[in-house]
Amino acid sequence: MRRQEFLLQDHSELHALLSRARIANLATVDPDGAPEVRPMNYAVVGDHLYFHTAPGGTVAARAGSLCAVTVVDLAVWIPSSWRHRFMACPATTYYSSLVVRGALTAVDDLDEKAVVLEAFMARYQPEAGHLPLADPRYRGPLEALTVLKVGLEQSSLKFKFGQHVTAQQRQAIYDRLLERQGPGDHQCAAWMRRLGLICPEPGGHV
């Protein structure tokens, strides 16, 4: 990563981000070398990221190939006017994101598939209302479904919340976030505090 100040090396925060976010973008390359990206639901079991798809489809055909996965948890627009009266250059986005690289591997074991699909249901349908995936009646559907996984070993966690600007500029941006109260603004301000980027000052909103 070029800007090392944005890199966060925290295994627990990696899993927390994956828990908060809802969609991952799975990037692969087709047989002709053309890139392809698809938004996917996902589940995390242990140190693997799992996807499921229909057999015979494009995603299923990428099993055994290298892939990259991006997940964005929070993205907040920071207008240029918050740092300069008339120049557009300072306009930016504060965000938290994850990039995972690795081999996309097919899961054949039915017990592993059942555990993974149970994790999907717990994540996207926490109210339950279904038979446990270990029930024998799921054997046919589990055999038919394609489940893919990629390890989390090669992961880059990036948190950009003003590390690259001065303390005075950060405080001004922080104050404007609290005033604007747009989608994600308070979460962004909270991350600036959590990362120690905002120092308590008389009159500051800390």
Q: In the CATH scheme, what is the homologous superfamily, with its name and number, of domain 4-77+92-164?
A: Electron Transport, Fmn-binding Protein; Chain A (2.30.110.10)
Return the number of other C-beta atoms located less than 10 Å from residue 46's C-beta. Answer: 11
pLDDT at 201: 56
Rounded to 5, what percent of the chain is helix, strand, coil? Answer: 35, 30, 35
Phi then psi for 81, rounded to 5 degrees?
A: -65, -15
Q: What is the pLDDT of residue 206?
A: 44
* Torsional sign, CA 90, 93, 96, 100: negative
- The Cα 48–Cα 111 span in angstroms is 16
What pLDDT score was predicted for residue 8? 66
Given a cut of 50, the residues of the chain with pLDDT beneath it are: 1, 202-206
Nearest 5°: the CA angle 66, 70, 72 is 170
Across-strand partners of 94?
76
The ranges assigned to domains in the chain are 4-77+92-164
